[in-house]
Amino acid sequence: MLKPSYPIRTERLTLRPFTHDDLDGLHAIQSLPEVARYLYWEHRSLEQVREVLETKIGQSALAEEGQALSLAVELANTGELIGDGMLFWHSSLHRSGEIGYVFHPDHHGRGYAGETARALLELGFDGLDLHRITGRLDGRNTASARVLERLGMRREAHLVENEMVKGEWTDELVYAILQREWRARR
C-alpha cells in the first residue's frame, strides 16, 4: 500500500493528487497534438479530458498491484499545472512497476521531467519497496530517452516495429533500473 504524504515537493515542483480544478490546465496539455505525438491516444477534447480527469482523481494511492498513481505536476513558485506523472504498480510478487510523465511543450527542456521521474522512482523504491522499475517509450522520443538515461536507467530493449500506433508501425524502447542501483546512485 502506498498513500504518499501530499504534497510531494521537489526542488522546483509540487506533485499532488488531481482535483476537479485541474480541468482547464490538463486540457491545455492534452489538447495539443504535439503532446499526444508519442502516446497511444490522440489529442483530446475538453469532454475527453473531463473523463480522463475523473480517473486521475481516483488515482491518489496504490492499494494493490495493477493500479496507477497519477499526480498533477505544478511549478512550486506559481502553482501552474505543467504536466502529470504516473507510477504503475505492475506486480506484488515480482515487486515491479513503471513510471511515466507528460508535460506541456512550453516546459520541455528545463529538467522538469527528470525531477518528476526522480520523485516517482523514490515513491516506487522507498514507498512500495519495488525491486525494479521500468520506463517504456516510443523509439522516436529521444528527449524522453535522455531523461531516463540521466536517471541511471539502462536501455534493456529496442523492440523494432512492435506496435501499430496511430496507423504506423513504431519502435518501443524499454528502460529499467533496480532498487539497489537506484540507492547506490543516491
Instruction: Quote the pLDDT of residue 104.
Output: 98
CB 157 within 8 A of CB 148: no
CB 24 within 8 A of CB 123: no
For the whole model, what pTM was predicted?
0.96
Instruction: Quote the pLDDT of residue 17.
Output: 98
> Cβ–Cβ contacts within 10 Å for residue 144, how many?
23
Q: What is the pLDDT of residues 113-139, one digit of tens each?
A: 999 999 999 999 999 999 999 999 999
* Secondary element (H or E) of residue 163: strand 154-165
Q: What is the mean pLDDT of residues 105-114?
A: 97
Give dist(CA 59, CA 63) in Å, integer. 10
CB 56 within 8 A of CB 30: no
Q: What is the pLDDT of residues 133-181, one digit of tens each?
A: 999 999 999 999 999 999 999 999 999 999 999 999 999 999 999 999 9
Residue 47: pLDDT over 90:
yes
Q: Which CATH class is domain 8-133?
A: alpha beta
* Secondary element (H or E) of residue 150: helix 142-150
97: left (phi over 0), alpha (psi -120 to 50) or beta: beta
Q: Which long-range contacts (CB under 8 A, 24 or more apart) does 160-169 make?
A: 165/40, 165/138, 166/42
Instruction: Quote the pLDDT of residue 1.
Output: 86
Assigned C-alpha cell, 165: 500506433
Banded pLDDT at 186 (limits 50, 70, 90): confident
Residue 50: pLDDT over 90:
yes
Q: Where are the domains of the chain?
A: 8-133
